[in-house]
Structure 1
Amino acid sequence: MDLIDEAVAEVLERAQRWLAWNGTPTLYDNNAWTPHKAMRRVTDHLIDHLAEIECRLAGIETLPDHWHGRTVTTHADLAPFTETDLDEARSRLTRLAISYRARLTAVEQEQLDARPNEETWSLREVVEHVAGVTYYARAIDGGRDAPR
């Protein structure tokens, strides 16, 4: 289950370049993107699906999310992205990644691939989906791989 660790590492690598962000949102995929918006979406996505995994493993109903998602750009999203913001994001995202690792390490392989019904992803599929959080960080570069 290294997918989440790898996704978080990519997001944080890209975020280092956001310290030089010029304050103009990038338009990509019919949305305006800023460093704070990308970080908000990454964090929300990780939290949302970690809660889903925890509820499923506990045998309780998951809560639907009510995030405003990528279609909303808040005033806070337009703020400069500072070294402190990067440090906070690093702490937050690495803790979320280790939470995924800790939780999924204790899950049997059969549980990872079990699907409660036809419409529900297996836990492995949820993790593969969550690893797509790199989309939000890539959006600032217009969806392209950023130069190193």
Structure 2
Amino acid sequence: MAQDLTQQWLEEIQALKRQLAQKQLDLNSAWESAEKWRKLYNTEAEQRRTDAHLFQQTIASLKTEIHKLQGIDTSILADGKATAAIQAEVKQIQAVEELQAKLITVTKERDRLLQAFKTEQENHAQTRKSLTTALGDAIDSLARERAEKSEV
């Protein structure tokens, strides 16, 4: 009878060892998943920051172009020859319609880029929300596994 009891205990210990090994595998898998999501989130965030920076540069470039079209070239103004430079630019324009057409084109492009930027910001916010939710789920899963492990 003592031998049967010993055999039962040994089988119970082996079962618990298998469960512990499986829980450890599950824990490692969850950590790897969390790390993957963290890396994806950071990559996406970096891409959004890069895109935002490029859009800001494009907007600044367009503002400069508009100023040039309006005859306000800041690089020329800085060297003290503003009046002559403005007069030269005005003389190059053949008609008011040319100036208006160019201004309309630049304004449309600026509006398109602003809309694209706004869309990118919304996409970034959605991605951040999705990745944060996934990361939270992974952390909750890990916490449950740890709680189960500590109960065993």
Q: TM-score scaled to structure 1, two decimals?
A: 0.33
Work out which of the two has the higher radius of gyration on C-alpha atoms and give 1 or 2: 2
Q: Counting helix residues as a fraction of each chain, which structure ranks higher?
A: 2
Where is the strand percentage greater, Structure 1 or Structure 2? Answer: 1
TM-score by length of 2: 0.32
